Structure 1
Amino acid sequence: MASMLYGRDAEAAEIDRLLDRARSGRSGVLVLRGEAGIGKSALLDRAAASAGDMRVVCGTGVEYESGMPYAGLHLLLGRYLDRIGDLPDAQADALRDAFNLGVSGSGSGSEPGKGDRFLVGLAVLTLLSDLAEERPLLCLVDDAHWLDEPSAQALLFAARRLEAEPIALLLAARDPDAPDAPGRPMVAAPGLPELRLRGLDADAAARVLDARADAPPGHLRREILTEAMGNPLALLELPGMQAGAKGERSTAYERIQRSYAGRIAALPEPSRLLVLMVASDDLGDVGVVMDAAGRFGASVRDLEPAERQGLLRTTGEGRLAVRHPLIRSAAYESAPLGLRLDAHRALADVYLERGDICHRAWHLARSVTGPDEGVAAVLEETAEAGHGGGVVGAVGVPDARAVNGRGFGGSEAVAALYEAAAALSPDRAHRGRRLAVAARISADAGLPERAVDLAMRAQSDLDDPLARAELTLIRASLADEQDRTGEAYRMFAETAASVADQDARTAGYLFFQAASAAVNAGDFAAVDQMAARVEDLGLPNAPHLRALARLFAGQDPRALRHRAADGVAALRELLEAMRLCYGPRERIRVAMWHLMLGDLAGADAAADELEARFREGGAIGLLASALMLRSRTRLLLGRHRDALTDATEGLRIAEDTGQHRVRVYLSTVLGLLAAIEGDERRCLELTAEGIERGVPPSSVHGAAARGLLDLGLGRHEAALERLSDAVSGPHRHGAIASLPDLVEAAVRLGRPERGRDAADWYREWSSQVREPWVEAVALRCAALLGPDEDADKTFTRALDLHREGGPPFERARTELLYGEWLRRVRRRNDARTLLHAALDGFERLGAAPWADRARGELRAAGESPAGGGTRRDDAVGSLTPQELQVVRLAAGGLSNREIGARLFLSPRTVGYHLYKAYPKLRVASRNELTRLDLT
């Protein structure tokens, strides 16, 4: 195969740099792209030969096993199963789950089925990092486009987090736009660097062809060079084909396939069977293959002809493998159907004898050509093996918490087995039931698109309204998450009505979800209709819906100011009603309602508790929502560094887990931070998607952030118009915190009448929520709009309330406005005291434009303030968000391994962040961190 490397000097040099980087302790990832036969596998082989003393681990995607969850990952890491026990408990359990090894019983406390994929990815990252501790690691994955989806997602998760480990990860995959490229995650591999392989140039192609012992002469040589189009494998294989191919319309790829098939056909029958066995099984375990082939009379001696023909090889890991991925498809597709089925039956029997019921089930599924209830029942029994049987849920479908795959191959494996069982089910009812279970498990495993596909297929086979309602819930939830809120509302409402006579509890829950979707869609009349419908039906949760309807009643510019008291009362009623609801998503929603009441301490405490629970249990998808909530509360509490850290981590997780709405929300939190700091470019970038797509509440928060940016930069007219739009739209309940900004913009523009309605509503809201800092801001608005003779007393009362706690940014703004007023009435000494306090607060928060305004006012008051920056350039402020997270945990006594488990990083990357942080903090070791103020 070395001849295939003619003309690949640049590509080889790029790979050599990747290996050198790993040897020097820095990670590198590269995806080789190109058509079949272009030389991807040869470059992987060269990398392995160049690895020297590096540890090399190899894996491959197998087309015929791509439906078997974690098959690719098992092939890559299966020889290191004994190292799983060294991983943190939650990661070890997730990887044991994926590999069908059972769990340790450590009780990680994770949410059922949640975050499994990403914990597996984290476990892969930690395991690879552990292997690289002993010597640099080269990880090679061929045919990555055929990796099963869970394996691909886990590898992508790990690859994106490789940073400071001596690891080189090299993957080979087809072009995403190739006609034969499967629609799988690793085909696109977003975020990973790529190297695209083109056909060899004319000189290199000629050298490949001429290097053959039987190099073709004259015109035949020219024909082959033209037909091969620089494809190295075509240059190697086409000369050996029969001469009668001239004028044939088939592609070089198809002719190469036939060439391999011809070589296989020329083998003795036992050798042909061995090649088929290797092509049919993803593991290539010598014992399994020989045992299965032995049932047809083949022996070890029959391997020799296949090896001599360059079709099979024995790897350094003791596996049998084809020498090129195209050989696998040629061997499988050229074999008679009956022989393929017999091969799978034999492999199934061998795996059963060895106690591997998972591989037995998959081979059994491929041993039949159509519906077969006997095989379908075996697949279902295999899926149930890890949980002891299905438990019927609230709406007649087995509860996913009972079939989430704990102790058996993970949630995705169980769902895939149920789906395969459904495909083989002759009976319509059995097929629908099995698809429904697969849909439930996929939804709980964080695979919404897959869950919806399964749910839609199941619904056509189910007649029971309750079972159909369960599946509609899955579909509507995804529609709501993808901001198709009107569609979600209709599905929830219609399904609720269809089951109201059979199950009041389920109907009530679905009506509440319909009302929530209507809120997201801005259809507040529909919320009122849902409440009335639930009351008419006498459903038990009618008070909850009536409270929700009152909360959002009168959402228009004329009615809102009269509804603050009703809205707050309804919100308190909802909080009380939901007090005993312990579902994680419900608890996040309740904490958000605390924010609407101005209860920052309550919201932050709830966010802290949820963050700790989800992080400890490895519920990574839910963790993004907890960080979304906590970043918002910490921003309002003035803990801007903490807000930046939470939002940055949450955004990364939301991107990894495909949570669109959470990702956009977190972007607007970062956009609001940028607005406070006066970073216009970042503010506009971070708020663009939420505004342009009209995604609530991010659309309102984004507009509010831009309005605050305009206000801070002195663009008062732009601020007034932008904020007026935000607080008068259908989602104005998300803009309560911006009402004082609108008031200030109107006053500074000399149009105070534009701010009176907003001030009145905010004052009424403050009187209902009874939070000191909210009342202080309401008094600030009153001082701005009221007569001068009342301003001094009103501002003083506001500052007294600010001292009881609340956002320091709001307190500094009150001090600034009061100081400006005092300067205007010629009380310069008093003004300077407040302006200094305001400047100090703004500098601590990094609020540059606001600090500049305070300095300007101090100069107008007769003082020349020193400096022109903020205090964000202190030692702690110079740390990146991730460095700050790491040093705080290290100061708390956690080891690098413990920190890595908490932050979804490898221990080595944790050490790298500490190495970068120490000089910034002017310390030499983690022991010195305990003496620093890291708040």
Structure 2
Amino acid sequence: MTGQTTPGPASHRYRAGTQRRAIADLMDRLRTEGGVRLVTGEPGCGRSAFLAHAARSFRTGPVWRVRADPADSARPRGGLHGLLRALGRPVPPPAGPAGDTLLTALRAAAGPTPHLLCVDDAHLWDPDSRAALGEAAARVRATGGAGLLLTVPAHRPTVPELAGLPAFPLAPLTPHDAAQLLDEATDHTVDPAVRAQLVSEADGNPALLLALAHRLSPAQLRGHRELPEPVADAEVLDALVGGHLAGLPADHTELLLTVAAAERADGTPGADAPLVHRAAPHSGHHAAVTGPATASPFLVAADGRLRFRSPLLGRAVYATAPPERRRAAHRALAGALPAGLPALLHRSWTVTGPAPHLASALAAAAADPATAPPPALRRTAHTRAAELSTDDAERARQYTAAAEQALLAGDSPGALRLLDAARSRPVPTAVRGRTELLRGRVLLADGPVDDARESFLLAAGLLASAGGGPVAGPGADGPPDAGPPVAAVAAELGAADAAWAAGDSASCLRALTHGHAGAPRPGARGTADAAVPSAARPTLLHDHRDGMRAVLLARFDLAAGPLRRVVDRAQDADDCEELMRAAAAALMLGEVTAARRAGARALAAARTAGYAALEARALEYLAYADLRAGRHQLARAHAEEGLRAARRAAQRNTAAHHHAVLALAASIEGDPVAEHVTAALTTARRHGLAQAATLAQWAAARADLGAGRPREAADRLGPLVRPGPRRGHFAVWMLAVPCYVEAAALAGHPEHARAVVEDFALWAACGADPQAPAQLLRCRALLAPPPAADDLFLRALDRHERTSGAGDFERARTELLHGMWLRRRRRLREARTRLGEALLGFERCGAQVWARQAGAELRANGVAPGTGAGEGAGGTGGGLSRLTPQQLRIARRVAEGATNREVALSLSVSTRTVDYHLRNVFATLGVRSRVELVRLVEQEEKTGAQL
């Protein structure tokens, strides 16, 4: 056992990932209040690295880190004695209240300052020492003043002496954090495809990830040589967790192996307990699977299922078992199951060579629409069918079908590996066409979109020449459409989607004109989410194609009819793709309510079917529809959820679009946009996503405009909206025109914006954006001479009133600009009314940065916000009345003594957002410290000021 006041070296620096906020909050509490946490996690999850991170983060007092020593743990109170030695205290006598002794020694060593004790592997202490530690922890929980972090493994039940302490389970690494850790460990030399495979194999376990990287040669890490199969073999897993399985009784080992084998064909975590009971080769298993407490400490029994406390342990149990024992377990499970896909899978794992008849049965069961197993289980079945096949063409078909299911399950890297396996041997043209079709779909969500377009075009040619036909997957069993084969139509549709994402309108139009493809969505990306359309979809695809082609040709009069039929046809649909097409058509028609409804139903359909790949895309539709409806905070919530889903499914292109939505929402709400803009542009520039890039740049410019920097906003937006080679995406640039006109006018260069207003008038006339007519009138008002400007502003406000579904934000912007125009012409009373209404509108929709602008204009007009700003505002108040509602909430919580992080948690915002708003609070109120802020709040509360 060792004690130290600074952290020692760890195998890797801990990465908080999804727990970043929870860990920061925990460290704040330990620094200010003290407390106890039992840190748990599976082997290799980074418990020791977490303690090192905690020790580095705790800078308000002394820190002791203690690790269990087997020599001390073998003696009564040996752990306690070792800890006291680390604290520099004398060893206590054998008897006495050990918990009190430990707590007294800890406080004597630390003095009056806050302090932190970290005990690694506390479960390895002797029982008396654990009891003393538990008693001391209970006292600390009751009285505070000290921080205790104790680590114990999660793959066994917590030792009874520590069982009552509050737990803090460590979550697995996110794919993003795992990739960063791997890059650091390999000095950034690992090939992207290899990185993706290793991250997938490690499943969030940092120790396993590093072990896999250490196993590979430099040539394998760089992608110059093939990786071993499997990558995480028995040797690697045994080295990582084999020690935990040593010395188990034979029947115990057989039970664990049976559960691990059952999980492989279940499709969900854990195994059916009655099935394990029926298949158990030893009668000693019965108590383990029927009683409430399992006979194995490694298993948890709940709701009729058995699961491993540590998934990594389950993988190790299966991988390290002798092959004959694994086959015996599968044989027993197959015999205990009724006929069906799970039984066939278990049978497949009992054979040691090719089995064509079994492969055919597996393929048929996996494709059976009546059973509808989850995508991950279908993938396993198709993969196993490919491995058991003797015919190269059939093997390629099954690998392709497995890739389709891997893609739907959200495993894009796995889908690419299966597609590589499918084309590793000469195969028929139709099969090769289908592999290219799926490769294009993977690249469309997570790769250069120009490469995706080329894959789709290649697939279209191959499938058309081969006669096409259905492709395995959802909706793939319908008859061919009239004209080109159905699979070729899907490939042409994918090419149009890729061209849309790249901003290549000419290529998009060619795809929509020369084939029977559908069309990409406006304000988002394409809709080729299923491999091919079903028999029910040809008319829908034709209507979508015709409508989008008319839009690209600027024939909006011809687009409305077919797009309206697409929306109407999806009223009773439950297919995710059809619903997303309906959302796209509704957005083009300007019917944002219908678009939101279709997006929400598409999300529900994707989740019901277990299609992780489509979940992030459906959330993208929903987030864009929310933005167009003026529901910025709801758009932010959906984009945050979509970003997590896109990262889980390894869809960087989809993630870039969600970052763009988050940047647009932040530019309204007043939060920093740089992080999301940078993330969106990084992927957009790397993969050629013109649309995501345009949206992100528009968000950055709107943030400049909201912060009172019109010149910077005009400089950003000018190249995006004016004709020329740098003009933004053809479906987005017109949406940014109102911002550009406002920025140019406020910057003193209205002449720069006159030409684009006439282009915007064509967009407003098509009816695709319900807010565009009011925005057009506002733009004309900003550029008009004084006699006409006032009338145009009033007409714009009247149009806002008559626009259904429009949010408060655009109307408030028109009111703000009109109020500014009136104030500069000394029409102060009218200006107060208009600016007061703008302030209320911005506050209603949470546009805090814009509310500050309205407040500043009111003060320049001689009236503080909330102190009689005309008909649109009223009431009295002191200095606090100059704050926006969000600033007021933050000021109150700070005055109550909350830290910035505690404020962030209570308001469900980031700490950075609180820091940003608090700086503005200080500047607005003229205070220089939190102490002054507390005094001001207390003073105004006493005089009746309302917060």
TM-score calculated relative to the size of structure 1: 0.57
Q: Is the Cα contact below 8 Å between 1:51 and 1:138 reproduced in 2?
A: no
2:912 matched residue in structure 1: none
1:721 is displaced (CA, Å) by 1.6
Compared CA separation, residues 651 and 741, structure 1 to 2 (3 A)? same
Asked if 1:378 is matched to 2:378, the reply is: no
Listed as ranges, the matches of 1:417-456 within 5 Å are 417-456=381-420
1:68 matched residue in structure 2: none
Distance in 1 (CA, whole Å) between partners of 2:276 and 2:69 is 27
Q: Is the Cα contact below 8 Å between 2:761 and 2:776 reproduced in 1?
A: yes
The DSSP-based 3-state class of the residue aligned with 1:141 is coil
The DSSP-based 3-state class of the residue aligned with 2:882 is coil
Distance in 2 (CA, whole Å) between partners of 1:745 and 1:457 is 54
Q: Show structure 1 runs of 5+ residues with no match.
A: 54-136, 143-163, 199-249, 265-270, 301-311, 392-401, 554-565, 886-935
Aligned residue type for 1:656: R
1:134 matched residue in structure 2: none
2:746 matched residue in structure 1: 748
Q: Is the Cα contact below 8 Å between 1:380 and 1:421 reproduced in 2?
A: yes
1:474 matched residue in structure 2: 438
1:816 matched residue in structure 2: 816
Listed as ranges, the matches of 1:257-272 within 5 Å are none
Deviations 1:241-299 (A, max 9, x none): xxxxxxxxx99x99x999x99x99xxxxxx999989987984699999999999xxx99
1:77 matched residue in structure 2: none
Asked if 1:30 is matched to 2:32, the reply is: no
Asked if 1:534 is matched to 2:549, the reply is: no
1:683 is displaced (CA, Å) by 0.6
Counterpart selection for 2:731 from 704, 715, 733: 733
Aligned residue type for 2:358: V
1:416 is displaced (CA, Å) by 1.5
Distance in 1 (CA, whole Å) between partners of 2:449 and 2:438 is 14
Asked if 1:845 is matched to 2:845, the reply is: yes
1:487 is displaced (CA, Å) by 1.2
Distance in 2 (CA, whole Å) between partners of 1:516 and 1:525 is 12
1:489 is displaced (CA, Å) by 0.9
Aligned residue type for 1:604: R
1:477 is displaced (CA, Å) by 0.5
Aligned residue type for 1:823: R
Listed as ranges, the matches of 1:307-322 within 5 Å are none
Asked if 1:643 is matched to 2:620, the reply is: no
Listed as ranges, the matches of 1:688-699 within 5 Å are 688-694=678-684, 695-699=689-693
Q: Is the Cα contact below 8 Å between 1:40 and 1:172 reproduced in 2?
A: no
1:770 is displaced (CA, Å) by 7.2
Distance in 1 (CA, whole Å) between partners of 2:250 and 2:588 is 71
Compared CA separation, residues 870 and 552, structure 1 to 2 (3 A)? same
1:80 matched residue in structure 2: none
Aligned residue type for 1:812: A
Deviations 1:44-100 (A, max 9, x none): 9749999999xxxxxxxxxxxxxxxxxxxxxxxxxxxxxxxxxxxxxxxxxxxxxxx
Distance in 1 (CA, whole Å) between partners of 2:172 and 2:652 is 29
The aligned length equals 652
Compared CA separation, residues 597 and 490, structure 1 to 2 (3 A)? same
Compared CA separation, residues 869 and 636, structure 1 to 2 (3 A)? farther
1:600 matched residue in structure 2: 592
Listed as ranges, the matches of 1:591-630 within 5 Å are 591-611=583-603, 622-630=614-622
Q: Is the Cα contact below 8 Å between 1:739 and 1:759 reproduced in 2?
A: yes
Counterpart selection for 1:762 from 748, 760, 763: 760
1:187 matched residue in structure 2: 202
2:653 matched residue in structure 1: 661
Q: Is the Cα contact below 8 Å between 1:524 and 1:549 reproduced in 2?
A: no
1:685 is displaced (CA, Å) by 0.9
Distance in 1 (CA, whole Å) between partners of 2:797 and 2:319 is 79
Distance in 2 (CA, whole Å) between partners of 1:819 and 1:172 is 53
1:835 matched residue in structure 2: 835
The DSSP-based 3-state class of the residue aligned with 2:389 is coil
1:765 is displaced (CA, Å) by 1.4
Distance in 1 (CA, whole Å) between partners of 2:907 and 2:314 is 51
Distance in 1 (CA, whole Å) between partners of 2:604 and 2:385 is 38
Asked if 1:492 is matched to 2:484, the reply is: no
1:820 is displaced (CA, Å) by 2.0
Asked if 1:709 is matched to 2:724, the reply is: no
Q: Is the Cα contact below 8 Å between 2:363 and 2:381 reproduced in 1?
A: yes
Compared CA separation, residues 7 and 345, structure 1 to 2 (3 A)? farther
Listed as ranges, the matches of 1:26-65 within 5 Å are 29-33=40-44, 46=124
Q: Is the Cα contact below 8 Å between 1:816 and 1:854 reproduced in 2?
A: yes
1:587 matched residue in structure 2: 579
Percent of aligned pairs sharing the same letter: 27
2:885 matched residue in structure 1: 871
1:459 is displaced (CA, Å) by 3.7
Distance in 1 (CA, whole Å) between partners of 2:680 and 2:903 is 25
Compared CA separation, residues 426 and 883, structure 1 to 2 (3 A)? farther
Aligned residue type for 1:548: M
1:414 matched residue in structure 2: 378
Deviations 1:99-124 (A, max 9, x none): xxxxxxxxxxxxxxxxxxxxxxxxxx
Aligned residue type for 1:673: A
1:740 is displaced (CA, Å) by 0.7
Listed as ranges, the matches of 1:886-897 within 5 Å are none
Q: Is the Cα contact below 8 Å between 1:422 and 1:435 reproduced in 2?
A: yes
Q: Is the Cα contact below 8 Å between 1:34 and 1:196 reproduced in 2?
A: no
The DSSP-based 3-state class of the residue aligned with 2:883 is coil
Distance in 2 (CA, whole Å) between partners of 1:277 and 1:647 is 44
Distance in 1 (CA, whole Å) between partners of 2:618 and 2:791 is 41
Aligned residue type for 2:417: D
The DSSP-based 3-state class of the residue aligned with 1:643 is helix
Compared CA separation, residues 509 and 423, structure 1 to 2 (3 A)? closer
Q: Is the Cα contact below 8 Å between 1:625 and 1:662 reproduced in 2?
A: yes
1:723 is displaced (CA, Å) by 0.8
1:749 is displaced (CA, Å) by 1.8
**Aligned Cα RMSD in Å?**
5.8
Q: Is the Cα contact below 8 Å between 1:638 and 1:809 reproduced in 2?
A: yes
Compared CA separation, residues 585 and 751, structure 1 to 2 (3 A)? same
Distance in 2 (CA, whole Å) between partners of 1:813 and 1:326 is 58
Asked if 1:790 is matched to 2:801, the reply is: no
TM-score calculated relative to the size of structure 2: 0.57
Deviations 1:802-830 (A, max 9, x none): 11242311111111221222223332222
1:169 is displaced (CA, Å) by 4.5
Compared CA separation, residues 313 and 440, structure 1 to 2 (3 A)? closer
1:428 is displaced (CA, Å) by 2.1
1:235 matched residue in structure 2: none
1:448 is displaced (CA, Å) by 3.0
1:354 matched residue in structure 2: 336
1:684 is displaced (CA, Å) by 0.7
Asked if 1:575 is matched to 2:563, the reply is: yes
Q: Is the Cα contact below 8 Å between 1:371 and 1:426 reproduced in 2?
A: yes
Q: Is the Cα contact below 8 Å between 1:276 and 1:332 reproduced in 2?
A: no
Compared CA separation, residues 187 and 349, structure 1 to 2 (3 A)? closer
Q: Is the Cα contact below 8 Å between 1:431 and 1:461 reproduced in 2?
A: no
Compared CA separation, residues 349 and 747, structure 1 to 2 (3 A)? closer
